[in-house]
Chains A and B, each alone.
Chain A
Amino acid sequence: MQNSETILPPITERSGPLRWLRHNLFNTWGDALLTVASASLIYWLVKSLLIWAISTAEWDVIVANLRLFLIGQFPLEQVGRLWIALAFLVFLTGNSLAIWDRNSRLAAILILGLPVFLLFLPFAPQTRVWLGVLAATGILGWGLGYTAPQSLKRGVAVGWLIALPVFVLLTHGFTPAVEDVPGTALTVVPTNLWGGLLLTFLLTVVANIFSFPLGLLLALGRRSELSIIRWFSIGYIELVRGVPLITILFMAQLMLPLFVPGGIDIDRVLRAMVGMTLFSAAYLAENVRGGLQAIPKGQFEAAYALGLSGAKTMYFIILPQALRLIIPILVGQFISMFKDTALVAIVGLFDLLGIARTVLSQPEFIGLHREVYAFVSLFYWGLSYAMSYISQRLETSLGLGVR
């Protein structure tokens, strides 16, 4: 045996800000030159942007139209419904964060702290009351999830399952509107009044949720042994992937009415949702197929050898592994679908971008393109980044590394 005293741990470099700088930024003359050049470029860019944002930009256009940007023409007296729907989502989010991501308090503080932060901005009193409600439900949900994680799991899952129907129902309402009679709490709000972030959000969620099972079926269909199913799947996927989304949206708006019998008027928002779902499903199918191909043949063989049927092998063995593998790709697709919703502005719907165009066409806001588009971009970026972040958390909590 060697004397254990002679074995020393590796020498760890002393750290310090100066040492770090020298090591990472000024290691050689070339490095130093590059550091100085990029630092000045960044400084110049940020400085110009800040000067514009603080002194030149006229943000009044955003403040004056904030409601339009968020919910479009949605009637003011019905806005409470949207707040309640939002509160439901915030409650579920708080709950889920506490149950499945309890080690990362930072996420909880960031997400649940947002309504609290907004509370201190100079909004209308009524808005601030609702923001208070949001903050309270979020924190309540988090607290409940933190104290009783096991017993709540199933309830939260059911909650997420019904979240979309609840949200759509509250947005749409169900008692028909009658002229000259003040509406009830749940009077129907026709979809042509839906707009802004609300419409963007609904388009994204609906297209992504419904394209998922459809894409899954297409991916399985493409591997099917029945040639008619296989050829249909291949035909559908290749056809849709060969056409730009904007074309499909135009077809949904202009050509769909030719195919449905007269008298039946399909809602324009619904048409856009259907078009986007069908488009997204084709891409999703190919992503899922990629995941399926990554599963070794031995996994199929082991399952078959145990007597599992083809369907059960898919459901219990292959799909869980394949879908986990493609989470990053799926999230990438969800994000790109979210940004693609902006195309509906071209077919005349008032999503976030559509509203931006409407605002800019008003005489008093002419020439304020920079402010409006900067604001809209910030929204798109924030939400995309949030989705990306959630996917990273999802990957860790699903234990992708365990193999």
Chain B
Amino acid sequence: MSDNNSTIIAVRDVHKWYGHFHALKGINMEVSKGEVIVIFGPSGSGKSTFIRTINRLEEHQRGEIVVDGIELTHDVRNIETIRTETGMVFQQFNLFPHLTVMQNITLAPIQVRNWSKSQAEETALQLLKRVGIPEQAHKFPGQLSGGQQQRVAIARALAMQPKIMLFDEPTSALDPEMIREVLDVMVELAQSGMTMLVVTHEMGFARAVANRMFFFDQGQIVESGSPEDIFKAPKEERTKLFLSQILSH
């Protein structure tokens, strides 16, 4: 990227192995503040693994990852700082089933950011309004629909006031009629200026808000560019093939 001051994530030559399986083969990526990045590719291509290395849910074995000026190393304090500044939304929601929606959202601000309970609850209620389900605050996750759960998960991540949001296939486990409500929240979030890395196959979402798209295959970035480049004039054969497969029906 041209302007170095605005770079918030810098990934240089990152490799990752699971035993003998080479999952990431030299990934390079720079993300600026406020950018919306969409990562797509066939299953097993390493896109989820990659996004999970950014908050160290997966450890990389070679290369360098710098998030918000802090390099990810074995230093636990660095890892926790980066996780505090990075929100993550999972495919399977991963809400805490024994806590209410409100407790799910306020736990980390109270325990990690040392907010008062009233401050955390006030913020939580605002976030629940933003994702459109303020009336569910005192229910348990098991009482909500999948779409509602994923919106709570987004609110939970946002409650920490992160600088970066990571989305790992956020709509893949949802029924079709619930995908819309989650995507709406994500579009609104993108338009508000949040830096986002999104692993998804929702090409409508990518077309609407992505600044750049990365096509992953077999642990490598095959092609990257603006949505316009990718959709209208993909350079690589593999990108063309994959796009034709997911857009055909």
Stretch at the interface among A177-185, A232-240, A307-315: A307-315
Interface flag for A190 (CB, 8 Å) = no
Rounded to whole Å, the gap between the CB of A299 and the closest CB of chain B is: 6
Q: Are A304 and B83 in contact, CB atoms less than 8 angstroms apart? A: yes
In the bound assembly, the distance between CA atoms of A324 and B96 in angstroms comes to 13
Q: Are B83 and A306 in contact, CB atoms less than 8 angstroms apart? A: yes
Which DSSP category, helix, strand, loop or mixed, fits chain B's interface?
mixed
Compute the total of residue contacts between A and B using a CB distance below 8 Å.
Answer: 65
Q: Are B57 and A305 in contact, CB atoms less than 8 angstroms apart? A: yes
Interface flag for A388 (CB, 8 Å) = no
Interface flag for B80 (CB, 8 Å) = yes
Rounded to whole Å, the gap between the CB of B164 and the closest CB of chain A is: 11
- Could you tell me which residues of chain A, from 355 to 403, have a CB within 8 Å of some CB in chain B? 399, 402-403
Q: Are A302 and B143 in contact, CB atoms less than 8 angstroms apart? A: no
Q: Are A298 and B143 in contact, CB atoms less than 8 angstroms apart? A: no
Q: Are A305 and B86 in contact, CB atoms less than 8 angstroms apart? A: yes
Known: A298-B94, A320-B98. A305 touches B80 (CB 8 A): no
Interface flag for A321 (CB, 8 Å) = yes
Q: Are A302 and B142 in contact, CB atoms less than 8 angstroms apart? A: no
In the bound assembly, the distance between CA atoms of A399 and B97 in angstroms comes to 11
In the bound assembly, the distance between CA atoms of A306 and B94 in angstroms comes to 12
CB-nearest residue of chain A relative to B77? A309
For B92, the chain A residues whose CB sits under 8 A away are: 298
Q: Are A305 and B83 in contact, CB atoms less than 8 angstroms apart? A: yes
Interface flag for A317 (CB, 8 Å) = yes
Q: Are B143 and A301 in contact, CB atoms less than 8 angstroms apart? A: no
Q: Are B96 and A307 in contact, CB atoms less than 8 angstroms apart? A: no
- Size band of the interface chain B makes with A: 20 to 34
Q: Are B57 and A304 in contact, CB atoms less than 8 angstroms apart? A: yes
- Could you tell me which residues of chain A, from 292 to 348, have a CB within 8 Å of some CB in chain B? 296, 298-299, 301-309, 312, 316-317, 320-321, 324
In the bound assembly, the distance between CA atoms of A305 and B160 in angstroms comes to 11
Known: A302-B96, A307-B160. A402 touches B140 (CB 8 A): yes
Query: How does the 8 Å CB contact mask read for B188-210 relative to A, with 1 for contact and 0 for none?
Result: 00000000000000000000000
In the bound assembly, the distance between CA atoms of A46 and B81 in angstroms comes to 70
For B108, the chain A residues whose CB sits under 8 A away are: 306-308
Count residues on chain A whose CB falls below 8 Å from chain B CBs. 21
For A298, the chain B residues whose CB sits under 8 A away are: 90, 92, 94
For A306, the chain B residues whose CB sits under 8 A away are: 83-84, 87, 107-108, 112, 156-157, 160
For A403, the chain B residues whose CB sits under 8 A away are: 97, 142
In the bound assembly, the distance between CA atoms of A312 and B94 in angstroms comes to 17
In the bound assembly, the distance between CA atoms of A399 and B160 in angstroms comes to 28
Interface flag for B2 (CB, 8 Å) = no
In the bound assembly, the distance between CA atoms of A402 and B96 in angstroms comes to 11
For B142, the chain A residues whose CB sits under 8 A away are: 402-403
Rounded to whole Å, the gap between the CB of B40 and the closest CB of chain A is: 22
Q: Are B83 and A317 in contact, CB atoms less than 8 angstroms apart? A: no
In the bound assembly, the distance between CA atoms of A301 and B143 in angstroms comes to 22
Rounded to whole Å, the gap between the CB of B142 and the closest CB of chain A is: 5
Known: A306-B157, A307-B84. A316 touches B107 (CB 8 A): yes
In the bound assembly, the distance between CA atoms of A307 and B96 in angstroms comes to 15
Rounded to whole Å, the gap between the CB of B70 and the closest CB of chain A is: 13
In the bound assembly, the distance between CA atoms of A304 and B88 in angstroms comes to 10
For B98, the chain A residues whose CB sits under 8 A away are: 320-321, 324
Interface flag for B61 (CB, 8 Å) = no
In the bound assembly, the distance between CA atoms of A320 and B140 in angstroms comes to 15
CB-nearest residue of chain A relative to B166? A305
In the bound assembly, the distance between CA atoms of A317 and B142 in angstroms comes to 16
For B86, the chain A residues whose CB sits under 8 A away are: 305
**A301 touches which one: B57, B84, B112 (CB < 8 A)?**
B57
Q: Are A316 and B111 in contact, CB atoms less than 8 angstroms apart? A: yes
Query: How does the 8 Å CB contact mask read for B78-122 relative to A, with 1 for contact and 0 for none?
Result: 001101101110101011111000000001100110000000000
For A317, the chain B residues whose CB sits under 8 A away are: 96
For B171, the chain A residues whose CB sits under 8 A away are: none
What 7 pairs across the A-B complex have the smallest Cβ distances?
A307-B84, A302-B94, A306-B108, A305-B88, A298-B94, A307-B83, A307-B112
- Residues of chain B having any CB pair with chain A under 8 Å: 55, 57, 80-81, 83-84, 86-88, 90, 92, 94-98, 107-108, 111-112, 140, 142-143, 153, 156-157, 160
Other than the known A306-B156, A308-B112, A321-B97, what 15 A-B pairs have Cβ atoms closer than 8 Å? A301-B57, A301-B90, A302-B96, A303-B96, A304-B83, A305-B55, A305-B88, A305-B90, A306-B112, A306-B157, A306-B160, A307-B80, A307-B84, A307-B108, A402-B97
